[in-house]
Structure 1
Amino acid sequence: MSVVNPYESPEPVTETVPPMQPGSSANSQSPLFTDPSFYGMTATQFLGAFNDNLFKQLVLLLAVGGTAAAVEVAGAIEKTSARQGPDIQSLAMFLFAAPFLLFSGFAGYLSERYSKRTVVVACKVAEIGIVLLGMAAFALWNVTGIAGLFFVLFLMGTHSAFFGPPKWGILPELFAKRDLPQANGIMLMTTFLAIIFGTASGVLADWFDVQRLWLASAACLVVAVLGTQTALLIRKLPAASPGLAFSPSALTVPGEIVALLKKDRQLLQAMLASCMFWLIGGIVQPSVNSLGIVQFGMTKGPTSLLAACMGVGIAAGCLIAGMLSKSKVNFRLVKIGAWMLVIILAILAIPGDGKWNMLHYPGTAVALVLLGVFAGFYAVPLQVFLQTRSPESLKGRTIATTNLANWIAIVASAGVYYLFGVVVDWLSVPRATVFALTALLMLPVAIFYKPRE
């Protein structure tokens, strides 16, 4: 009896991205770079992603050592690792990611039932209110503690969950089909730039004690107001399905997609491989924070720069992978990316002198850039394949199902990171050991996922 490898393709497959054909409504639109809606939408999503990552990073840095570490920022206790509380980043990550599981289906329904432009503007207005609550949570730290910030972080995740479907779904309604590849590419690139700048701006945590971090979070308010203004540049659009009735099936995976995934094993494998990308990413981000603060003993500024290095690498990797792939789905890049992720993660875990790993701070920064580059190699071909493999009639729901699956992986990453932390504490080994455990998690994908060119 033969054993079937669930990651191996049953037959050779070469996917070519179909050229964009001019649609009936496409050519009536303005050229991409002369359309105010393009600049409005690009700026709006950039500012939104920046805000998400700045606020999330401020909270994660406080959560590295639990509430004791947060009080330590205020100078209330002497800085010693023994006095720090537990690392509760996993709880913070879960609270930010949970709304994507709870509300993604309903958010997709709203983006079809009402004008996507209206939903975008409403989300930006809501963001202003949420950021004001965040400022209050920092100002009232002595009263609410970390719980107040966690509540606001959940609201930020909820805002992002409702913003996601109209953000990507509005592009075909705004722009000509011939411009969609370029528009999507620029949107994706600016998203990663927002992650880089937002995460790096976590250095603000070093400039204020915890009771005055509301001043740092005031930057989020400025960004939210600017994002609302840029959203108004998007031209008004009609609702895609104004008569769409709500059905409970909108909150689940449609039966047609379940049947498609059972029939098309190549598509299912790619979706699982995509989930692994987000699972690994969800573990690595807090691991970098823990490495810098707990093991290296650095402040939050240099630690945020380490996280930004990884973002720079992902942005560069996505750009390079797109150039190398051209019009084809280049699965060789996926294989290279998977193996390099395993290797670099393992190298990051090798111990060095004293508190450092083998690479020390400069080498760790370079390794994280390379980790991001090869993550881009791994992710881009999978994303293109998932977008082009499914039939036109099921494409939107396939992408929605992929997004839901990815967020399940992100939520799961919080639990996996927590378990890895328990193992590290039980073994009394350096925090960098989490990278080795993550490499072991990625290893089966590198070995068994074999999509044929």
Structure 2
Amino acid sequence: MTEMELTPKKELPPLYHDSSFWGMTVTQFWGAFNDNLYKQLVLLVCAQQVLLEQTNDKQPIALAVFALPFVFFSGLAGWFSDRNSKRTIIIGCKVAEIVIALLAMAAFFTGHLLPLLVVLGLLSTQSAIFGPAKYGILPEMLRDDDLPQANGVIQMTTFVAIIFGMASAGFVKQAFPGELWKTSYFCIAIAVIGTIASLWVRKTPVAQPGLSFRWSTMGIDSETRSLLLKDRQLLNVLLVSSVFWFVGGIIQPLVNIFGIGQLHLSESRTSLMAACMGVGISFGCILAGRISRKRVNFTLVTVGAWGIVITLFAMFGFGWWGPAESLESLKETDTSLWKSFIPESALEWAARSVLTLMGFFAGLFVVPLQVELQTRPPKSQKGRMIGAMNLINWIGIVISALFFQIFTVICNLFHWPMSQVFLALALVILPIALFYHPKDEALAHESP
């Protein structure tokens, strides 16, 4: 008797009563928290070096280190997830996260950037392997018509984790100056919690047992390429998704340097400003899942694209407003971490509000794309398609790191404010808002 016969989809409990679904949700929540806490800590260390040591900004290097394992290993991870039990891969990745959290403690002890970057690379490698199994298992263990709401919850909790991870990074860096290794105790504990939660995920059939390895597997294999060439709708979704993550890859370091360097905000205030995007994305993802119900709602992609364009233009305008406070006065008044939650100027209020709206529209934008990539490919290729999605998305993010580095040099050379980059990103998203309007698609219905 196969695993599918043991748990047929028609006998699955309702989505919100499904312990397997909540096990997967808790698992990925804490994984995303650890990823973003550590990554934001490294980015803040890089941003601080720019101000204190007058060195070149190392944030693009850190982002490239985080992105490259996704480029190199996403295709391999997709093949591996179709060939093996996705549940086993998920559990194995969570165990690896515990080990990496221990290595992070040792890296912080050294006080040097290079060991921190090495651990960041290991963390992203673990995430690259985890991704295809995480998203590929959802259509295997859930009904197709539950996928919009399931993805809404998964995306929402992912970005809630990003909120707390990014915001916590600013707070712990101010709370433990010179002793960042202490954060590893917490990271190890939540990695253990995530590992325990992964045991709740139900087993699903292996998509394609014995799938042979080819060198093309390291990128996009021949079967997946053939599918993409025949199905232009799927190819377009992949390309639009890549543009979205290209923009997202620039936004985080841009907000960091915009907050610390241009608005003269403290690290905790800057992290909270960046985390506002996560708040908005969470609400956008949940709303997108509820509105979509039993279809892939591409109208939300159009609405989301226009919202992102408008809010990026607004952030560009804020760059000409001027600093919220002088650097000296902020250092004197921002002595309490809790005071960081309350904006101290109209500009800080406006920036947080607009970034929250930007995140909201991003949530509307991304959920339909994710559902389409999960449901449209045949069952035997879902893992490899998610691997291809990760590969193309992270190529976009690697290019974004190069783009950010080039724009940083240009802005420094001509003494332009970094907020000019917001305008460039708005122009990148604008063609999607104007020209990408596919029709909505109904999802298959499986009777209970």
* Common fold: TM-score over 0.5: yes
Task: State the Cα deviation string for residues 235-284 of structure 1 (Å, max 9, x = none).
Answer: 55665545344332322323343334334433333322111111111111
Match of 1:262 among 223, 226, 229: 229
* 1:336 pairs with 2:306: no
Residues 82 and 381 of structure 2 are in contact (CA less than 8 Å); yes or no, is this contact kept in structure 1? no
Matches for 1:226-305 after TM superposition, within 5 Å: 226-235=193-202, 239-305=206-272
1:189 to partner: Cα distance = 2.0
Residues 117 and 166 of structure 1 are in contact (CA less than 8 Å); yes or no, is this contact kept in structure 2? yes
| 320-329 or 212-221, larger mean C-alpha shift | 320-329
- The structure-2 alpha-carbon separation of the partners of 1:113 and 1:404, relative to structure 1 and needing over 3 Å to count, comes to same
Amino acid at match of 1:153: L
Structure 1: distance between partners of 2:297 and 2:18? 32
Task: State the Cα deviation string for residues 72-108 of structure 1 (Å, max 9, x = none).
Answer: 5xxxxxxxxxx43222111111111111111112222
1:213 to partner: Cα distance = 0.8
Match of 1:439 in 2: 426
Structure 2: distance between partners of 1:288 and 1:116? 36
1:190 to partner: Cα distance = 1.3
* 1:204 pairs with 2:172: yes
Amino acid at match of 1:45: Q
Structure 2: distance between partners of 1:325 and 1:85? 48
Matches for 1:400-411 after TM superposition, within 5 Å: 400-411=387-398
Amino acid at match of 1:371: M
* 1:364 pairs with 2:351: yes
1:411 to partner: Cα distance = 1.6
**Structure 2 stretches of 5 or more lacking a match?**
326-344, 441-448
Secondary structure (helix, strand or coil) at the match of 2:253 reads helix
Match of 2:107 among 137, 145, 154: 137
* 1:184 pairs with 2:151: yes
- The structure-2 alpha-carbon separation of the partners of 1:191 and 1:440, relative to structure 1 and needing over 3 Å to count, comes to same
Match of 1:163 among 111, 130, 136: 130
- The structure-2 alpha-carbon separation of the partners of 1:267 and 1:184, relative to structure 1 and needing over 3 Å to count, comes to closer
Structure 1: distance between partners of 2:73 and 2:110? 29
Task: State the Cα deviation string for residues 140-187 of structure 1 (Å, max 9, x = none).
Answer: 11xxx1111011000100111111122223334444556555443322
Structure 2: distance between partners of 1:205 and 1:61? 8
Structure 2: distance between partners of 1:375 and 1:31? 28
* 1:109 pairs with 2:79: yes
1:397 to partner: Cα distance = 3.8
Task: State the Cα deviation string for residues 294-334 of structure 1 (Å, max 9, x = none).
Answer: 11122211111011100111111122233334444443332
Residues 47 and 223 of structure 1 are in contact (CA less than 8 Å); yes or no, is this contact kept in structure 2? yes
Match of 1:37 in 2: 20
Structure 2: distance between partners of 1:232 and 1:391? 27
Match of 1:128 in 2: 98
- The structure-2 alpha-carbon separation of the partners of 1:389 and 1:38, relative to structure 1 and needing over 3 Å to count, comes to closer
Task: State the Cα deviation string for residues 96-130 of structure 1 (Å, max 9, x = none).
Answer: 11111111122223323433222222211111111
| 410-419 or 246-255, larger mean C-alpha shift | 246-255
Match of 1:57 among 29, 36, 40: 40
Structure 1: distance between partners of 2:35 and 2:163? 11
Residues 352 and 359 of structure 1 are in contact (CA less than 8 Å); yes or no, is this contact kept in structure 2? no
Residues 316 and 420 of structure 2 are in contact (CA less than 8 Å); yes or no, is this contact kept in structure 1? yes
Structure 1: distance between partners of 2:232 and 2:206? 35
Structure 1: distance between partners of 2:238 and 2:189? 37
Structure 2: distance between partners of 1:265 and 1:122? 35
Structure 2: distance between partners of 1:365 and 1:333? 23
Match of 1:80 in 2: none
Residues 24 and 198 of structure 2 are in contact (CA less than 8 Å); yes or no, is this contact kept in structure 1? yes
- The structure-2 alpha-carbon separation of the partners of 1:38 and 1:441, relative to structure 1 and needing over 3 Å to count, comes to closer
Structure 1: distance between partners of 2:395 and 2:402? 11
1:438 to partner: Cα distance = 1.7
Match of 2:273 among 278, 303, 306: 306
Structure 1: distance between partners of 2:19 and 2:288? 29
TM-score by length of 2: 0.84
Structure 1: distance between partners of 2:298 and 2:20? 34
Residues 306 and 433 of structure 2 are in contact (CA less than 8 Å); yes or no, is this contact kept in structure 1? yes
Secondary structure (helix, strand or coil) at the match of 2:10 reads coil
1:34 to partner: Cα distance = 4.7
Identity across aligned pairs (percent)? 49
1:291 to partner: Cα distance = 0.9
